[in-house]
Each structure stands twice: as C-alpha cells, then as structure tokens.
C-alpha cells in the first residue's frame, strides 16, 4: 500500500479524513503521499497549505485540494455548504502547486523535470455531465474514493507532460524532514551544569562532619562529589592557617587538583608516588620493579616527614587506588594530632587493592550515595554497575539517552568513531569537550588516523583518567568477557561522562 505521512488520519475536516483513508487503504505502492504540507513565503514567495501531495516515482507529483459537503459554482463564485469561498478550489490547488514547484526548484537546484499537476477532490459530489473549464479533467469525485489510482493518473496525464522519474528522497527531505529543534550544545551544557553544580544535603552533612571529627573516612559513589568536598575542606583548613597535603594516586588528577588549589599556598596537591620519588630522590628508571621498590623503601622517609610536622592535615582522594604499602607510607606522613580525611569508592577498585588496608577510625564512615555528576540519561547506563545505594540527584537534568553501537571488528568501531566525531563536530561540540576512553594505551588502539582528523579530541585509558570527568564521553572497544572490562572497569569508565555518553562495543 501507499506510504502516508503522517501515519494517522487527520483530526480536521471529515472530507480530508475520507481522502486520507482512501489513499491509505486503496492506493497501491509505490505511491508516496503527504497530508497537510504547509509552506511559507520565505520558502516559496507565497504562504499556504496543500491538503495532499501524492507522488509516483515514475509518473509525477500531484497537489490535491479537498472540498467536502455541498459545493456549488454560481455566477463565477464558489460556495461550500452555502458559504462563499474566498477563492476557487482550482485556484487554491494551482497556487499550492506553483509554490511547491518553487520550493522543489530551490531544493533540487533546478526546476523539476517531472510533471507537477494539481487537482481538486470533491468528496461529496458525483461527476456532473459538464465540468467547469477550470476543473475540466482535474477533478476527482466521490466515486473515486473507491479506486483512487486511476483518478490520480488521469489528473497527472491532464497536465500534458511526459512522465519522468521523481526523486522521492528529495521530496521526503523537503516535505517530511527529520529535524530536532533544541538549544545549541553550549547552551544545553550550561543549562545542565547549572543543575549539576548544586551542593546536595549529603555533601552539606559531610562538611559538618569534617568539623566534628578530626579524622574521617568518606565512602562515596562515582560522581557524588568526593573531590569537590576534598577541595572545599582543603580550602577551609588553609584559611584556618593549616598546611594541607592533598594526595591522590592518578597523575592526571593530581595535575587537575594543583590547578584548582593554585591560589591556596597552604595546600599542596600531589600524586602519592610523585611525593615518594621526591622524598627518596628517585626517578623512574624503567625497571619493572621500580614502583614496588619505591613504595617498600618509602616508609622511613615518610616517618621523617611526619615527625617534622610538614603538614597539619592530610586529605586523600580516590583512596581505593592505594596499595597497602602506600597506606603505610601515607599514615606515617600524618602527625598524631593532624586532621586526616580519606575519600574512597569500593566499586571503583579497578586495581583490586586490599581495602582492609585503609586507615580505620573510631566512628562510622560518612556516606555519599547521590550521584551529582551525570545527567539521568548517563546514570541510567552506569546504574547496573553502581553500588546498590547509589541514586541520581533528584534535580539532575534528563540529558540524552546513551547511544550504544556494536561491531564485529576494530576496523568497524574505528569507522563508527570517525563518523561519530564528525557528527559531534557538525553539532558544534568543541573537541576539548570530547574524550575517548579505552582499556589500552593509545599505541595499541590504532587511533592515530581518527584522532589526527579531529585535533583536540583526547584519548586516555580509564585507569589514567580516574577521578576526572568529561562533558562528552566515547567509551571504546567495550568487550564482554574481557577482564579489562569487568564490572569495576565499566563503572569507572562510564561514570566519567557528564552530559553525553556513547559506547562502542566490540564483539568478542
């Protein structure tokens, strides 16, 4: 059967509903029909609406004006159910056809080579013995509802032009385009950021607890604001005159923290292994055992720094990343009467550390269970991997649903990645807002050509990017059964996205 747009009958005049149902039920393929095609003066030089536009890929295009009820012509004037019409039905159909010809010429770059004709369908009238000159051969009647195709072909033939191919794809793009009207990326991001950035009640209670308890562990799900609270408390203690050491495991996170505390000379942000190298005067020499030896040998130096009271407070972010030897060194750095805060998330234990090595304090952990980083669309994707008590912020913006693509080969995922980056660029997303994340270092991923075509787009492993976030995230080569993509890895990787998330899966 013919394809109609829209697919449901109109709620308008009964006459148009009769024509819609006749075309839907009795007009065969490959006809294509659009109902209520509106056009504006900006497009065509005129303004109006065509009741129906019917196209046959090999015959031409017909613009149809529908009139129901009792139609009459007296003294050169047209009436419908006793009401005088402002213009003749044939003139309405002609005007719509000419307007659409102008729109088609603009869309195609040249006047259409196929026939474009017009017709009037009088759904409540029988064929008269004699037709008015302006309707002769161009009118369909009530009995044509039972078999519309012969009537449409007669009207096309009356136009007097030879049949020619009709580009249905171009008509589809013109008459029923797929469009999404929404704010530009920068505005969408700003609106969502305004909702995400608010302090939650849980975070407020945690800040109160930091004042009441000199030492505290804070367990929080991904995106619950652990790093935000660590920075706020570091600033509070610095303003009180305390010297604060802000530690993390990840080098990239340490760089980010240093930038955020640059105006606080009382606060030092550093990756724990950086600090230990400094204490021991060592540099990575490429020995596979270098970092194990460093952590093993660091305890005496850490005790010496703690004895000198170099810091009045120590804050550890992403504490689940610290190995037992690192915890021994960190605890030695903290003077007996110093403040000590540890933020951690057991669900992000991608290095499979022994979490029993975390410092223990004589009161329960503070808990952060509200995700404040991700839109609801992103959170819905990471929720299956999140701790059971994690929940989205009730004020979180809806955002966009995650797009998931699955391919059988790396070559296919790279092609999909390139197409996706091109699409985001066309949407106006700046490259610095986009992060591609995977399980292996870039040389093993074969991304040189794709990233070279999109300068500014970054790639990191999820291990290296832990604790950080990106407005738009593309997770690459996720593979079922791969131990590098276990539950903790997926949770850690997916939760880096703030606004938009794309997952490119690779079949194992």
Contact 474, 434 (CB under 8 A): yes
Under 8 Å CB-to-CB from 508, ≥6 apart: which residues? 479, 480, 481, 482
Rounded distance, CA 441 to CA 133, Å?
78
**Residue 182 — pLDDT band, cuts 50, 70, 90?**
low
Radius of gyration of the chain (CA): 35
Contact 323, 291 (CB under 8 A): no
The pLDDT score that the predictor gives to residue 478 is 96
Under 8 Å CB-to-CB from 74, ≥6 apart: which residues? none
Fold of 392-506: Rossmann fold (3.40.50)
Task: Find where tokens 């701790």 sit.
Answer: 387
- List the beta strands (DSSP E) in 408-465: 434-438, 458-461
**Considering only 133-147, 271-285, 466-480, which range has the smallest mean pLDDT?**
133-147
Looking at residues 147-154, what average pLDDT do you find?
Answer: 95
Rounded distance, CA 316 to CA 212, Å?
18
Q: Which of 21-30, 105-114, 289-298 has maximum average pLDDT?
A: 21-30
Looking at residues 41-56, what average pLDDT do you find?
Answer: 80
To the question of pTM greater than 0.75 for the whole model, the response is no
Looking at residues 90-94, what average pLDDT do you find?
Answer: 87
Rounded distance, CA 132 to CA 379, Å?
66
Rounded distance, CA 169 to CA 154, Å?
24
Residue 133 has pLDDT above 80, yes or no: no
SS3 content of the chain, % helix, strand, coil (to 5): 40, 20, 35
Count the Cβ atoms, other than its own, within 10 Å of residue 503: 20
Tokens of 332: 């030695």
- Full 3-state SS string of 25-57: HHCCCCCEEEEEEEECHHHHCCCEEEEEEEEEC
Express as a percent the part of the chain with pLDDT over 90: 70
Architecture per CATH, domain 3-175, reads as 3-Layer(aba) Sandwich (3.40)
Under 8 Å CB-to-CB from 51, ≥6 apart: which residues? 16, 19, 35, 36, 64, 65, 66, 121
The pLDDT score that the predictor gives to residue 288 is 87
User: Class of 199-371 per CATH?
Assistant: alpha beta
Cis peptide before 503 (omega within 30 of 0): no
- Maximal C-alpha separation, the chain: 113
Contact 495, 350 (CB under 8 A): no
**Residue 24 — pLDDT band, cuts 50, 70, 90?**
very high
Number of residues that this document lists for the chain: 508
């Amino acid at each position: 059967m013919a394809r109609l747009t829209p697919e449901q009958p109109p709620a308008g005049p009964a006459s148009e509903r009769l024509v819609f149902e006749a075309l839907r039920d009795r007009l065969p393929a490959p006809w294509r029909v659009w109902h209520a095609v509106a056009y504006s003066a900006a497009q065509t030089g005129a303004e109006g609406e065509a009741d129906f536009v019917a196209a046959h890929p090999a015959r031409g295009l017909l613009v149809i004006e529908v009139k129901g009820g009792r139609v009459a012509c007296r003294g050169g004037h047209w009436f419908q159910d006793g009401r005088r019409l402002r213009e003749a039905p044939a003139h309405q159909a002609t005007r719509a056809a000419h307007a659409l010809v102008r729109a088609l010429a603009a869309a195609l770059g040249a006047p259409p080579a196929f026939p474009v004709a017009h017709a009037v369908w009088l759904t409540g009238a029988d064929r008269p013995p004699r037709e008015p000159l302006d309707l002769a051969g161009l009118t369909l009647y009530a009995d044509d509802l039972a078999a519309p195709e012969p009537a449409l072909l007669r009207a096309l033939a009356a136009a007097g032009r030879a049949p020619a191919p009709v580009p249905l794809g171009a008509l589809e793009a013109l008459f029923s385009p797929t469009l999404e009207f929404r704010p530009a990326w920068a505005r969408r991001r700003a609106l969502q950021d305004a909702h995400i950035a608010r302090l939650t009640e849980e975070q407020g209670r945690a800040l109160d607890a930091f004042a009441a308890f000199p030492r505290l562990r804070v367990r929080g799900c991904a995106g619950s604001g652990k790093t935000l609270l660590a920075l706020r408390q570091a600033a509070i203690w610095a303003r009180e005159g305390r010297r604060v050491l802000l530690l993390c495991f990840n080098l990239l996170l340490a760089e980010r923290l240093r930038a955020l505390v640059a105006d606080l000379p009382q606060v030092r942000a550093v990756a724990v292994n950086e600090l230990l190298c400094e204490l021991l005067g060592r540099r990575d020499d490429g020995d596979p055992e270098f970092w194990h030896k460093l952590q093993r040998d660091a305890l005496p130096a850490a005790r010496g720094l703690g004895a000198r009271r170099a810091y009045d407070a120590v804050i550890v972010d992403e504490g689940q990343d610290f190995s037992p030897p690192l915890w021994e060194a960190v605890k030695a750095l903290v003077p007996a009467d110093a403040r000590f805060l540890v933020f951690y998330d057991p669900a992000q234990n991608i290095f499979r550390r022994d979490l029993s090595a975390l410092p223990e304090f004589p009161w329960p952990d503070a808990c952060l269970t509200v995700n404040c980083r991700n839109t609801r669309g992103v959170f819905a994707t990471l929720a299956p991997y999140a701790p059971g008590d994690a929940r989205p912020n009730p004020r979180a913006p809806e955002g966009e649903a995650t797009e998931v693509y699955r391919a059988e080969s790396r070559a296919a995922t790279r092609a999909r990645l390139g197409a996706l980056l091109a699409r985001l660029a066309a949407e106006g997303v700046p490259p610095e807002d986009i992060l591609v994340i995977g399980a292996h270092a870039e040389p093993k991923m074969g991304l040189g050509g794709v990233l070279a075509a999109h300068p500014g787009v970054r790639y990191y492993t999820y291990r290296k990017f832990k604790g950080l976030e990106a407005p738009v995230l593309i997770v690459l080569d996720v593979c079922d059964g791969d131990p590098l993509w276990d539950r903790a890895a997926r949770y850690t990787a997916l939760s880096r996205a703030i606004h938009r998330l794309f997952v490119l899966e690779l079949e194992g």
